[in-house]
Amino acid sequence: MQKQKSYQIEPTEGVLYVVPTPIGNLEDITIRALNTLKKVDLIAAEDTRHTKKLLTHFDIHCPLISYHEHSQLTKIDTLVTSLNEGKSIALVSDAGMPAISDPGTPLVQAAIEQDIPVVVLPGANAALCALVGSGLRTDHFYFYGFLPRKNKERKEAFLSLYQQQSTIILYESPHRLTMTLEDIQRYLGNRRIAIARELTKRFEEYVRGTVDQVLEWVEHGTLKGEFCIIIEGSQNLVNEESNWWEDLTINQHVEHYIKADQLPSKMAIKQVAKDRGVPKRDVYQSYHVE
């Protein structure tokens, strides 16, 4: 077990500060974040050129070191050594909260393993802004981030997301937005969704509606900036204790999921196997062979 009292850290101890930066609007940086960036010995930045602009704007002069997905393995030891020597380091990303869909997590983990205090500051976060602005449920939500790019892993991701009853949060780049919306339609059905782009910036925009409606907008809309996609959770999951399917044959059971829930046959077969507590191969054999 490990305990940390963040406001009782010895002055000689090295501290890793996780410092959120604005996701677009520079006015969203906190006073505490600015004061922390001014007092640390070193700033570990995802892109030093990008962070330099932020520091220049606020007249902050602090040494920078690059720390990104291609350098993290070689830089972690160097940064941990500095922390163990009593130096304080601020970890920042290009925008928003470090370690959320960026390479910050391994450094945080390495610091904790060395009993180095990790102090996380609150601040801007695109996912939560988009969630609240979507108009969908916020009492329970599931942050997924960026989807896999390989087809097999992508299909598996959507299979798990189909079962998710909480509101789902995805990140996506503009050149992959259309494909992802089409996949949402294919695997999750025509649910209510919202997409948010250019959050906190001059051209901030929300588009809310069904997947079909948002796909129509995509044909003529502006696909620039990073996107957050907020997806309504599954509304069709049946209580597992209720064997509503008892009077159906296996094939009818599979057809129900294909027609009512718009699932591909592979996903429908997997769900039927789960409902009935039987091997997936038995359902496949019945549906495709017998």
Q: What is the pLDDT of residues 74-123, one digit of tens each?
A: 899 999 999 999 999 999 999 999 999 888 999 999 999 999 999 999 99
Give me the amino acid identity at 164: Q
Q: What is the mean pLDDT of residues 25-49?
A: 96
pLDDT band for position 125 (cuts 50, 70, 90): very high
Among 120, 139, 166, identify where a domain stops: 120
Residue 230 phi, psi dihedral angles, 5° rounding: -110, 125
What pLDDT sits at residue 277? 82
Q: What is the mean pLDDT of residues 28-33?
A: 97
What pLDDT sits at residue 258? 83
Instruction: Indicate whether 75 and 155 sit together in one domain.
Output: no
Instruction: Indicate whether 135 and 226 sit together in one domain.
Output: yes
What pLDDT sits at residue 290? 61
| CATH number, domain containing residue 193 | 3.30.950.10
Q: What confidence tens digit (pLDDT) does each residue in 231-262 have?
A: 999 876 544 446 778 778 888 888 888 877 77
Instruction: Indicate whether 196 and 257 sit together in one domain.
Output: no
Q: What confidence tens digit (pLDDT) does each residue in 187-208 have?
A: 898 999 999 999 999 999 999 9
- Nearest to 127, CA basis, from 162, 163, 96, 106: 96
Instruction: Indicate whether 176 and 194 sit together in one domain.
Output: yes
Determine what percent of the chain is predicted with pLDDT higher than 70: 97
**What would the DSSP string read from start to end of the chain?**
-----TTS--TTS--EEE--B-SS-GGGS-HHHHHHHHH-SEEEESSHHHHHHHHHHTT----EEE--TTTHHHHHHHHHHHHHTT--EEEE-SSBSTTSSSTHHHHHHHHHHTT--EEEPP---HHHHHHHHH-S--SSEEEEEEPPSSHHHHHHHHHHHHT--SEEEEEE-GGGHHHHHHHHHHHH-S-EEEEEESTTSTT-EEEEEEHHHHHHHHHHS---S-EEEEEPPPS-PPPTT--TTTTS-HHHHHHHHHHHS---HHHHHHHHHHHHT--HHHHHIIIII-
What pLDDT sits at residue 242? 60
Q: How far apart are CA 45 and CA 186, in angstroms?
A: 38
Quick one: tokens of 238?
A: 């049946």
pTM over 0.75: yes
Residue 203 lies in a domain: yes
Among 92, 120, 148, identify where a domain stops: 120
pLDDT band for position 279 (cuts 50, 70, 90): confident
Q: What confidence tens digit (pLDDT) does each residue in 151-200 have?
A: 889 988 998 898 899 999 999 999 999 999 999 998 898 999 999 999 99
Among 120, 155, 173, identify where a domain stops: 120
Instruction: Indicate whether 153 and 183 sit together in one domain.
Output: yes
List the domain range (segments joined by +) for residue 22: 16-120
Q: How far apart are CA 90 and CA 199, in angstroms?
A: 24
What pLDDT sits at residue 268? 86
Contacts of 81 (CB under 8 A, 6+ apart): none
Q: How far apart are CA 162 and CA 229, in angstroms?
A: 15
Instruction: Indicate whether 90 and 139 sit together in one domain.
Output: no
- Nearest to 267, CA basis, from 163, 174, 166: 163
Overall number of domains in the chain: 3
What pLDDT sits at residue 250? 87
| CATH number, domain containing residue 21 | 3.40.1010.10
Residue 9 lies in a domain: no
Residue 4 lies in a domain: no
Residue 32 lies in a domain: yes
Q: What is the mean pLDDT of residues 26-34?
A: 97
Determine what percent of the chain is predicted with pLDDT higher than 90: 67
